[in-house]
Amino acid sequence: MLPLSLLKTAQGHPMLVELKNGETYNGHLVNCDTWMNIHLREVICTSKDGDRFWRMPECYIRGNTIKYLRVPDEVIDKVQEETKSRTDCKPPGVGRGRGRGGREDGPGGRPAKGIGRGIDEGGARGQGGSRGGRGGLGGNRGVGRGRG
C-alpha cells in the first residue's frame, strides 16, 4: 500500500501532522496531492515546545516540510478495499518497471527522479531536536500531558 493512497483515503478524517520544525497541526484533511502538500480545516497549531496554541480555520502545508502524519487507525481498512479493486485490474509489479528502458532513459529514469527531487528540494533547513515538542504533544489525544 502506498503512503499517499493512505493519505488520500484519510480525506475528511482528523489527523495530526508534525512538521520538521517541530510544530504540530491537528485538523481535518480536506485535500492532498502527490507531493504530500495538504490542506487542513479546523486546525489547531501547537508550538514546538507544546506551550503555545493557535486555532486557524484552515491551512495549507507544503509536503516537504512534513515529518510525519498520524491518521486514525480505521483509515487503513478503508484503503485496502480501494487497493484491492485496483490490483484486480492491474497485477502488482506492472506499474513500476514500465517504460522502455532501451533508448531514452528519459521516461524511465526521469519521473522517479523528478519526484525525489521535488520533494527534497529546499529540505536543507536546519532544525533542532524536537524532543521537547513531542513531550508536549504526548499523544494527540493527551497532548497536554507534557505540561501538567
Reference 70, options 141, 145, 144; nearest CA is 141
Among residues 84, 88, 89, 124, which is the contact residue for other proteins, using CB under 8 A? 124
Rule CB under 8 A: say whether 8 interacts with other proteins.
no
Closest contact distance (angstroms) between CB of 24 and other proteins is 10
Reference 65, options 30, 38, 86, 45; nearest CA is 38
Distance between CA atoms of 137 and 129, rounded to whole angstroms?
A: 14
| CB atoms near residue 93 (< 10 Å) | 8
Closest contact distance (angstroms) between CB of 39 and other proteins is 5
Cβ(45)–Cβ(56) below 8 Å: yes
Closest contact distance (angstroms) between CB of 47 and other proteins is 7
Rule CB under 8 A: say whether 75 interacts with other proteins.
yes
Among residues 68, 78, 86, 95, which is the contact residue for other proteins, using CB under 8 A? 68
Rule CB under 8 A: say whether 145 interacts with other proteins.
yes
